């Protein structure tokens, strides 16, 4: 929920991406209805994981990536999105750096059911 008077500015996505340094470390740029809008730069392979209770949207803003599912690969180019349903194992892969926008519930952990050195808090704003 957005409190009146908070977060009442527009967001320029390109400007926010310029502030992002690390790969695989999504940062919040907006919140609505118990969900966060996040931006991330990714490069390389992530890890297989799933979110038992949360659907997750991946929108490619720049570059192209793969969302590997157990039974097939989703190739995502600029201006394409894919919604990973809750419970579905997936592994994002980016050969070159890709800029993505994520939409997910506030409760979502980046590594889902897995917690290891790639898990980040996911509650930082930029």
Which one of residues 21, 33, 52, 121 is an interface residue with a copy of itself (CB under 8 A)? 33
- Between strands 90-105 and 73-76, the pairing is unpaired
C-alpha 104/C-alpha 109 separation (Å) is 9
Nearest to a copy of itself of 4, 21 (CB atom): 4
In the complex, least distance from residue 117 CB atom to a copy of itself, rounded to whole angstroms: 28
21 lines the binding site for a copy of itself (CB under 8 A): no
Nearest to a copy of itself of 45, 89 (CB atom): 89
Which 39-98 residues touch a copy of itself, going by CB under 8 A?
A: 54-57, 61, 74-77, 79-83, 85-88
The dihedral formed by the CA atoms of 110, 112, 115 and 116, expressed in degrees to the nearest 10: -50
Which one of residues 42, 103, 110, 111 is an interface residue with a copy of itself (CB under 8 A)? 103
C-alpha 11/C-alpha 116 separation (Å) is 31
What value does the CA radius of gyration of the chain take, rounded to a whole number of Å? 14
C-alpha 32/C-alpha 35 separation (Å) is 5
Closest by CA position to 29, among listed 79, 84, 83, 102: 102
**Contact residues for a copy of itself, defined by CB under 8 A:** 1-4, 6-14, 30-33, 35, 37, 54-57, 61, 74-77, 79-83, 85-88, 103-105
């Amino acid at each position: 929920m957005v409190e009146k008077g908070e977060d009442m500015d527009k967001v320029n996505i390109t400007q926010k991406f310029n502030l992002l340094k690390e790969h695989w470390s999504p940062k919040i740029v907006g919140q609505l209805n118990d969900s966060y809008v996040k931006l991330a730069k990714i490069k390389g392979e992530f890890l297989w994981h799933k979110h038992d209770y949360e659907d997750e949207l991946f929108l490619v803003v720049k570059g192209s990536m793969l969302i590997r599912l157990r039974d097939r690969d989703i190739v995502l180019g600029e201006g394409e999105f894919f919604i990973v349903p809750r419970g579905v194992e997936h592994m994002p892969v980016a050969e070159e750096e890709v800029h993505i926008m994520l939409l997910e519930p506030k409760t979502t952990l980046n590594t889902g059911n897995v917690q290891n050195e790639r898990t980040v808090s996911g509650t930082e704003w930029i």
